[in-house]
Amino acid sequence: MIAITGAAGFIGSNIVWHLNRAGRHDLIVVDVHETDAGNANLAPLAYERYLTKDAFRDWLRDPQNAGQLETLYHMGACSSTTETDADYLAENNYGYTRDLCELCLANGVRFINASSAATYGDGEQGYVDDEALIHELKPLNLYAHSKQDFDLWARAEGVLDRIVCLKYFNVYGPNEWHKDDMRSMVCKGFEQIRDHGQVKLFASDLPPYPDGGQQRDFVYVKDAVAMTVWFASQPEVNGIFNVGTGEANDWNRLITAIFKALGQEPDIAYVPMPEHLKGKYQYHTEAAMGKIRAAGYDQPCTLLEEAVADYVNNHLVGGKHLES
C-alpha cells in the first residue's frame, strides 16, 4: 500500500491522481478532517482508506500495519507563510513529521517528505540543495523555519541518506482552490481577469527589479508530482532535492500567459508592496536542478505558457477538479 498525508490538499491530491492514473488504488489518504465526505479534491479520486492525521500516526505505530506500507508521501503541513503560532507549527510541521519519519525508518517504509524552497529565505545563500549548507540558510517566516527545523534534525540524526526531503518552489496547478490567499497567482490572476478584466501585481521596491519583474521558479504541479513519485522507484537516491524548473520567470510573463490562454490582451496594474511583506518578500528564486538530474531524473518540465494554458483551459475554466 501507499500512504499520502495532506491528501485532500494541493500536491497531495495531485499525487493521488497521478497514482490512480498509474493503476494504483491501494492508497491510504490522510488529512485533518474527520470525514472525506464532500471533499472536492478527493471525491473524484480512488483510494482504499481515509484516516485523520492522528489516527494515521497511531495506525503506523503498529508494526503489522506498517508492514503493509511501501511508501509514505508526507505532504501534510500548515503551509501558510503568514502563520504566527510558533507552537502549532513546531508540533504540526516539525514534531509530527519527525514522528512519521522515525516510524517509517523503523519499519522499512520509503519516506518522501515535503520541505520547501521557503527555507532558502531571501536567496542570499543561493538555491543549491546541498545538505552540508542547510545550516547556513535564513528562513524569512515561521512556516519556513518549521521546515528547516526538520531538515536540520534529519541531518543531525544522520538519516538523510535514507529519506527524501523535497524543496518545492512555486508550484501551481489544479486542486488548489481551498488554499485561499496561499493559492498561486495563476489561480488568483485568472479570477481577477474573469471578474475585473485586469490583474494587480506588487510594484517593486528594489531598484534592480522593475514592477512585475520579481522572479520565481514557477513549476507546474503535474511536473512537481512526476519528480516526487520518481523517488519511490529509486531507493538508492536519498537526501535533500529541489523540485522546480531551474528557470526563473517574472510575474509579468506568468500573467501574460494567463491572458494569452484566455485569448485576451494583457492588462496589468501595479500596487505598492504591503508594509508587512517588506524585507520578507523573495525577489528571485531559481532552483538548482543539477542534483536531481545527476541522480537520474531526465523528464523535461512543461514550458510555462503550455502549463498555464493547460491549467486555465482544462481546470480553471469550469472549475474542474482532477479525476481518476
Give the residue numbers marked as catalytic: 143, 179
CA proximity to 106, closest of 73, 60, 74: 60
- Cell numbers given for 239: 537526501
Report residue 191 CA to chain centroid gap: 21
36: left (phi over 0), alpha (psi -120 to 50) or beta: alpha
Dist CA 102 CA 215 (whole Å): 37
Residues with Cβ within 8 Å of 228's Cβ and at least 6 positions away in sequence, in order, are 11, 15, 73, 112, 166, 243
Give 273's DSSP letter.
P
Structure-block grid coordinates of residue 121: 529565505
Residue 195 main-chain phi, psi, to 5 deg: -90, -30
Which cell numbers in the block locate residue 85?
503560532
Taking phi over 0 as left and psi of -120 to 50 as alpha, with beta for the rest, 276 belongs to: alpha
Q: One-letter amino acid identity for 201? A: L
Residue 267 phi, psi (nearest 5): -140, 100
Give the C-alpha separation, 225 to 168, whole Å.
10
Distances (CA, A) of 182 to 5, 54, 185, 196: 19, 25, 9, 20
Q: How far is residue 43's CA from residue 31's CA, in Å, rounded to a whole number?
A: 14
- Can you tell me the distance from the alpha carbon of 283 to that of 255, in angstroms, rounded to the nearest whole number? 16
Q: Strands 71-74, 110-114: parallel, antiparallel or unpaired by DSSP?
A: parallel
